[in-house]
Amino acid sequence: MNDDDEPVHLTPLFQRKCNHRDGLYHDCQYVNARNALLREAVQITDSLMGGAKSLTQDRIANATYNAKWTKEFIGVMDRLWAERGT
């Protein structure tokens, strides 16, 4: 990596491209197709959950919100995949 390269772990997931072979049970095309839905799924989930919530000092409230957001996000990803997946 040179000084101009951004470390992979800092690159947003929806911008990463999977292009390796990791045994018989890995499908880069599937991973890339799912990753392409991430940005839209986040936007839809934020909209459904009343917008992006800023964290508060209440850790329990944050954990509850995060759990609900994650559950909603999974459903949104599943719906988008069913509509557009291959």
Range of the domain at 60: 8-84
Q: Which two tokens stand for residue 37?
A: 């839905």
- Does residue 71 lie within any of the structural domains? yes
Q: What is the structure's pLDDT at 6? A: 45
- Does residue 77 lie within any of the structural domains? yes
- Does residue 3 lie within any of the structural domains? no
Residue 7: which pLDDT band, with cuts at 50, 70 and 90?
Answer: very low
Span 67-84, pLDDT tens digits: 999 999 999 999 999 998
The number of distinct structural domains making up the chain is: 1
- Does residue 69 lie within any of the structural domains? yes
Closest to 32 in 3D by CA, of 49, 48, 47, 15: 15
**Cα Rg for the chain, rounded, in angstroms?**
16
- Does residue 64 lie within any of the structural domains? yes
Determine phi and psi for 11, rounding to 5 degrees. -80, 125
Span 21-50, pLDDT tens digits: 666 677 788 888 888 899 999 999 989 988
The CB density around residue 65, as the number of other CB atoms within 10 Å, is: 16
- Does residue 1 lie within any of the structural domains? no
